[in-house]
Amino acid sequence: MSGYSNGRDIVSYVALGDSFTEGMDDPYPGPEGTGEVRYRGWADRLAEHLAATCGEVRYANLAVRGRLIRPIVEHQVPRAVELRPDLVTLCAGGNDIIRPGADPDLTARIFEAAVRRLAATGARVVVFTGMDTAFQPVMRHLRGKIATYNMHLRAIADHYGCDVVDLWSMRVLQDHRAWSEDRLHLSPEGHRRIALRVCEILDASPPEDWRAPWPAEDPRPWRAARQEDLLWAREYLVPWIGRRLAGRSSGDGRAAKRPALVPLQPARRGG
């Protein structure tokens, strides 16, 4: 039994946030014959591991792709408070920080309001810093804002006694294989490593080391890399900018994938 369970056989866990917590781009097939693709992600992987080590786990994932911090605070946080789980993970504000004119100080104040409400329930609250974008040419200029936001998040976590998953220091995520083709969302392997990191923070007996080196690979020829950059800009960057300019979100009209606390089966081996 994990160090987190404290002898309890039932653990309830609610995950809050945006696409990072919804699980994009870590797909697994939907019901047979439907052609539907669902997303697993680090939060599902964490819940599955807890189910394997703590006994029965009830799990809800309220995260929806594209969500800004205000909708998360206004809609997801009250639902989490209503569910009164033992464990809450909150990652929010990233979609705000990457927008032009974003104010990390204001975003942090909104984040603190969410943490205050969640901590008041007695739940164990885990929060996430933003990632270091130094390795991403398009996002590199946002490092200052992200670093400022991260300092606020750490101060908030200290004040309310939250655990912190420091994504900024996870250098393993700076490998291109940690990211999907759109370079905005994690790959399945990126999600797996973050799940292992959260397990470590929860003292939940992670089955592997998230720091494990990536297998060696041959360097990509310069010309091929530039062609990939051009393809990425056309297929992903331009549509993303278009949605922002139009005030649209990839999550418009979408609901949470797991809106209620429902018992979860233990993790599938090899996943």
Q: What is the pLDDT of residues 2-25, one digit of tens each?
A: 444 443 545 999 999 999 999 999
* pLDDT tier for residue 138 given thresholds of 50, 70 and 90: confident
Q: Is residue 108 part of a domain?
A: yes
- 211 or 181, which is more confident: 211
Residue 5 confidence (pLDDT):
45
Residue 26 confidence (pLDDT):
96
Q: What is the mean pLDDT of residues 208-232?
A: 77
Residue 183 confidence (pLDDT):
77
Residue 266 confidence (pLDDT):
57
pLDDT, tens digit, for every residue of 25-54? 999 876 666 667 789 999 999 999 999 988
**Residue 85 in this model has a pLDDT that exceeds 90:** yes
**Residue 70 in this model has a pLDDT that exceeds 60:** yes
Q: Is residue 222 part of a domain?
A: no
Q: Is residue 22 part of a domain?
A: yes
Range of the domain at 25: 10-213+257-264
- 231 or 77, which is more confident: 77
Q: Is residue 246 part of a domain?
A: no
**Alpha-carbon span 188 to 183, nearest angstrom:** 13
* pLDDT tier for residue 1 given thresholds of 50, 70 and 90: very low
**Residue 252 in this model has a pLDDT that exceeds 80:** no
Residue 7 confidence (pLDDT):
38
Element (H, E) at 115: helix 104-119
Q: Is residue 2 part of a domain?
A: no
Q: Is residue 231 part of a domain?
A: no
CB 187 within 8 A of CB 177: yes
Residue 54 confidence (pLDDT):
81
**Alpha-carbon span 60 to 261, nearest angstrom:** 5
CB 61 within 8 A of CB 76: no
Residue 30 confidence (pLDDT):
66
Output the domain CATH number for residue 127.
Answer: 3.40.50.1110
Residue 10 confidence (pLDDT):
58
Residue 174 confidence (pLDDT):
93
Quote the percentage of the chain above a pLDDT of 70.
80
Domain count, the chain: 1
Region for residue 63 given its phi and psi (left: phi exceeds 0; alpha: psi -120 to 50; beta: otherwise) = beta
Q: What is the mean pLDDT of residues 201-225?
A: 85
Q: Is residue 129 part of a domain?
A: yes
Q: Is residue 228 part of a domain?
A: no
Find the largest Cα–Cα distance for the chain: 57
**Residue 237 in this model has a pLDDT that exceeds 50:** yes
**Alpha-carbon span 166 to 72, nearest angstrom:** 21
